[in-house]
Structure 1
Amino acid sequence: MKWHEHTTGQRIKLLRGAVTQEALAEVAGLSIATVRKAEQDRGQLSLPTLMRLAHALGADISVIVGQQAPKRAMLADDRTTLREMSRVVHDTAAGISADREPTDFASDLAAGWDAYRAGRVGVAGRFAASCVSDAAAALAHTPVERRMAAHGLLADAYRLSAYVANQLGARDLAYAAIGHAAEQARQAGDPVREASVASGRSWVYLRDARLGEAERVAAVSYTSIEPTYGDRDPALLATYGWHVTFAAVVAARQGNTVAAEELLSQGSAVATRLGRDVMVNGTAFGPAAVAAQAVGIAVSTGKAGKALDLARGVNDWSSLHQAAQNRLQLDIALAQCEVKQYDTCLDTLLTVCQEHPEWVRHQTLPGVIAQRAGYATTSRSRKIAKIIGATLA
C-alpha cells in the first residue's frame, strides 16, 4: 500500500511505531484523547496540532498528511541540483578545489537570490552551487589582510545553498551549509550577517519540526543586533525588524502566543519608525512585510477570522518578493478553509499552484489545505493534486 493511500490517522500510527500513544501525547504536548482521535481519523486536525505531532514524530507535516512519503521523492532536476550542491558545499568546506582561478561571481550570487525569492528553487540551487565554488576560490586567492569581505560573500553563498536544500527537503545538507555559513560570517566580522545566518538556522529547525531550537536561535538572530534608540541606519533597523518579526512567527508555531504578539509588536514598531519599505539583502522590510507575517501568525494561532481581516486591511502587497506573496496566499487560503469558505479557499490555492508550480511543489501547506477543504470530486482539487504531486484521498 502506497503512503498516500493510508489515512492521516494510519500514517500517524505508522510513524509512531513502537512508541505508545501516551508517550507521543506527552512529547507533543497534547492530550491522549487528541492523539487517539487523530489516529482514529475523527474530525480534522488543526494546524497547531499537526505541527505538534510533526515535532514529536520528527517528520514534516507533509509526510503526516500524505503529500510526501517519509523519504521525499523529487524530480530528476532537483536531485541533480542537490548532488552538485552537496559536492561543492562539502568539498569547499574541506578545502578541496579551492585552487581554481577565481571569477567575478557577484552578479551570479545576486541572480541566485533573486531566483530563490521568485520561487524558482531549482534555478537558485544551480546558482548556489557555482557561487560557493567561485567564492571559495576567491577567498583562497585573497591576501589575508583583505579576507573579511571574501568571507562574507562565501557566507552568503553557503546560506543560499542552505535555503535551497531546506526547501528541497535535504535537511542534512541544509544543516551543513548553514553551519559553514555561520563560520564564514564569524570570520567576516559582520554581526548583521551572523544574525541573518542565525535566522536561517532557525528556519531550518522550523522546517525540521525542532520548534524549541528554532525559537532559541531566532532570539539570537535579533537580540545580537538590537538597535539603540539613537540608531538611524535604515539597513540595521530593517534587518532587526525582519528578524524580530520572523522570531514572532517561530514563537507562534511553538504555541507561545503572548511572545508572538510581543515580538510582532516590536517588528511593527520598527516598520512604523522606518515609514517605508527598506531593502535588506534583496528582501524588503516594512509595513507590508509585518502585515503578511501577522496574517500567518493569526492563522497558526487559530484566529482565522482575524487573519482574513488583516489581509483585507492591506491594499498593496507588491513590495513583498514573489515567494513571500505566495506564502501569504497560502495563509489566506488556510484561513478561508478554517472559516469554511471552501470554494474560495480552493480558488485561492489553485491560483497559487497554477501560477507558481515549482515553488508550490516544495511547500507543505497546499496538501494540508486541499485535504481540509474537502476534495471529493472537484476539478479544482484534481488540478491541485496534479501540481503538488499528491493523491488527495
Structure 2
Amino acid sequence: MNDVGAIGERLRRFRRRGGLSQEKLAELAGLSPGVIKKIERGGTARLETYHALARALKVRTSALFDSAGPRQNPRADDDKLDLLPLRQAISPPITLSGRAGLDMPDEEPDLVRLRASAESAAIAYHRDKYPAMGELLPALVRSTHTAVDHYTSGPERAEALAVRSEVLQMAGRYLTQVRAYDLAHMALRDAVRDAADAGDRLNAASGIIGQAWILLRQGRLDEAEQLASHTADSMEPRISCAPREELAAWGWLLLRASAAAARNNRPDEATELARLARTAGSAVGTGVTDHLRGWGTFGPLTVALKAIENEMVADRPDRVLTMSSRLPDGVGRATSDNWNRHRLDVARANATLHRGDEATRVLMALYSDAPEWLKHQRLAADTLADVLKTRKRTLTEEQRKLAAHLAVDG
C-alpha cells in the first residue's frame, strides 16, 4: 500500500516545479482547489482524479505513486470470510511432503470429466453467476491439484497442468472482479507457471493477459504496460498465416498495454498499441470466443470498445458518446463483461456531461441485465454518486434502487 502522505508530497513537488498554484492546477485539471489541498495534506482521491492531475502536470500517472502502485481499493474484498474456501484451495499451507490436507484419490483422476467441469464453470462465469463461482471454484481447484500430483510424467501430466492453469485463470478472473487482487495475482502467477511447464505458450499468454488486468486494476501502470507489451513483442504472429487464437492472444496483450498507457498519461503510446490491436482484430474478422484459453471474445468490436474506454480515461466524454453511437453492426460479438464495461463507460460519460437521467437509464439497464457484475464495479458506484450529487429533485425510484444495490448514499 502506498504512503498517501508521500503521494501528496509528490503532487506538491510537481505542482511547484511547474510554477503552479493550487488554484491554477485545479483549473487545468478540471477539479476544485479543495481536492488539491486535500491530497497535498495526505488525503486520498479516486484514480481518475490522479489521471486528471497527471495530465495537467504533463507527467505519467505512475509518477504520483511509489513502485507498488496506488493505494489499495478500500472496498476490496481480500479479507471477506466468504472467500476463505477459495483462498485455502489456491494458497494451501505447504509441508515437507507437499500441500497439507490434500488426500490422494483411491482411483485415477478423470481428466476428461475434470475439463468438462472446468468448461461448465467458465460458462457460469461469463453469465455473471458470481455466487455459483464462489461455490464451484474451491472444489475444482483442489481437484486440479490432485490431478497434477497424481500424474508425474507423460501426456497426462501435461494435460493435468494445462487444466489446472485454465482453472486458476478462471479463479483469477473471478477474484479480480470481486477485487481480491492479491489472491487473484497468486492464482494467475501459478497459472502461467503451469502453462509454461506444460509447454502451452498460448495458455501462458492468457495468464499474462490476466496479470496485466490485475496490475491495471491496482494502478500499477508501468508494470502492466511493460508486461503486456513485452509479451506481445515476443509472440507477434505472422498476420497472413497465424491461427486465429494466436491473433486473439496477441491482440488482447496489445489492448492491455494500450489501456495501461492511456491511464498513465501516455496517449501516443496508447494510440499506437491500439492501432496494432486493430490489425489483429481485422485479421481475426469475426470474434474468437474461448472461455478457458482467453479473456472472452476478441475481434473488431472488442478493439472498438477498448478504444472508447481509452477516451473515457482521457476525460473525453463527448468522444465516448460519439464513438459509441457509431459502433458498426455485424463485426462480431463481445462477452458480457466487456460489453457491460462499455455500457458503464457510456453511463459515466453521460454523468460527466450532466445528463443524469440518461446515466441512470444505462445503469438501470445494467442492473437488470447483470446485477452481480454491477455490484462489484467501483465505477458504477462513483457514477451514480456523481449523478445523485448534482440532482436537485427527489430521487427517482430507479435511483433509490441503484443506490441500495451499489451502497451509495442518496
Give the whole-Å Cα distance in 2 for the aligned partners of 1:127 and 1:261. 40
Contact 1:16 1:24 in 2 (8 A): no
Give runs of aligned pairs for residues 11-160 of structure 1, distance below 5 A.
18-19=5-6, 21-25=8-12, 33=22, 34=25, 37-38=34-35, 48-50=48-50, 52=61, 58-60=70-72, 63=74, 68=75, 72=77, 79-80=81-82, 82-91=83-92, 94-96=98-100, 97=102, 99-100=104-105, 101=107, 102-103=109-110, 104-146=113-155, 147-160=157-170
Amino acid at match of 2:230: V
Contact 2:161 2:198 in 1 (8 A): yes
Amino-acid identity (%):
22
Give the whole-Å Cα distance in 1 for the aligned partners of 2:119 and 2:163. 11
Q: After superposition, give the CA deviation of every residue in 1:68-127 in whole Å (9 maximum; x if it has no partner).
A: 3xx6599xxx732x1111111122875341623524221221122222222222322333
| Structure 1: runs of 5 or more not aligned | 1-14
Give the whole-Å Cα distance in 2 for the aligned partners of 1:110 and 1:196. 16
Q: After superposition, give the CA deviation of every residue in 1:309-344 in whole Å (9 maximum; x if it has no partner).
A: 211112548711111121111011111222332211
Cross-structure match for 2:343: 329
Cross-structure match for 1:291: 304
SS in 2 for 1:285: coil
Does the C-alpha gap of structure 1 residues 271 and 229 become closer, same or farther in structure 2, counting only changes over 3 Å? closer
Aligned residues: 365
Task: Report the TM-score, using the length of structure 2 for normalisation.
Answer: 0.79
Give the whole-Å Cα distance in 1 for the aligned partners of 2:364 and 2:50. 23
401, 406, 410: which one pairs with 1:383? 401
193, 203, 206: which one pairs with 2:216? 206
Cross-structure match for 1:3: none
Cross-structure match for 1:10: none
Give the whole-Å Cα distance in 2 for the aligned partners of 1:277 and 1:344. 30
SS in 1 for 2:354: coil
Does the C-alpha gap of structure 1 residues 296 and 26 become closer, same or farther in structure 2, counting only changes over 3 Å? farther
Give runs of aligned pairs for residues 150-189 of structure 1, distance below 5 A.
150-189=160-199
Give runs of aligned pairs for residues 242-321 of structure 1, distance below 5 A.
242-280=252-290, 281=293, 283-316=296-329, 319-321=333-335
Tell me whether 114-123 or 329-338 shows the greater mean CA deviation: 114-123
Give the whole-Å Cα distance in 2 for the aligned partners of 1:211 and 1:246. 10
Give the whole-Å Cα distance in 2 for the aligned partners of 1:39 and 1:178. 37
Does the C-alpha gap of structure 1 residues 24 and 16 become closer, same or farther in structure 2, counting only changes over 3 Å? farther
Give the whole-Å Cα distance in 2 for the aligned partners of 1:163 and 1:106. 18
| Structure 2: runs of 5 or more not aligned | 27-32, 40-44, 52-60
Cross-structure match for 1:11: none
Contact 1:288 1:320 in 2 (8 A): yes
Amino acid at match of 1:79: L
Amino acid at match of 2:99: G
Does the C-alpha gap of structure 1 residues 351 and 237 become closer, same or farther in structure 2, counting only changes over 3 Å? same
Does the C-alpha gap of structure 1 residues 39 and 83 become closer, same or farther in structure 2, counting only changes over 3 Å? same
Query: For the pair shown, which has the larger CA radius of gyration, 1 or 2?
Result: 2
Give the whole-Å Cα distance in 2 for the aligned partners of 1:384 and 1:55. 33
SS in 1 for 2:179: coil
Amino acid at match of 1:371: A
Q: Which has the higher contact order (CA 8 A, sep 6+)?
A: 1
Amino acid at match of 1:233: P
Cross-structure match for 2:379: 365
Does the C-alpha gap of structure 1 residues 229 and 304 become closer, same or farther in structure 2, counting only changes over 3 Å? same
Give the whole-Å Cα distance in 1 for the aligned partners of 2:217 and 2:304. 22
SS in 2 for 1:91: coil
Give the whole-Å Cα distance in 2 for the aligned partners of 1:26 and 1:98. 57
SS in 2 for 1:343: helix
SS in 2 for 1:383: helix
Amino acid at match of 2:337: A
Give the whole-Å Cα distance in 2 for the aligned partners of 1:353 and 1:119. 12
Tell me whether 203-212 or 259-268 shows the greater mean CA deviation: 203-212
SS in 2 for 1:284: coil
Give the whole-Å Cα distance in 2 for the aligned partners of 1:223 and 1:98. 42
- Residue 46 of structure 1 deviates from its aligned partner by 8.6
Give the whole-Å Cα distance in 2 for the aligned partners of 1:189 and 1:92. 27
Contact 1:154 1:181 in 2 (8 A): yes
Q: CA RMSD in A?
A: 3.1
Give the whole-Å Cα distance in 2 for the aligned partners of 1:138 and 1:72. 30
Give the whole-Å Cα distance in 2 for the aligned partners of 1:237 and 1:144. 31
Task: Report the TM-score, using the length of structure 1 for normalisation.
Answer: 0.82
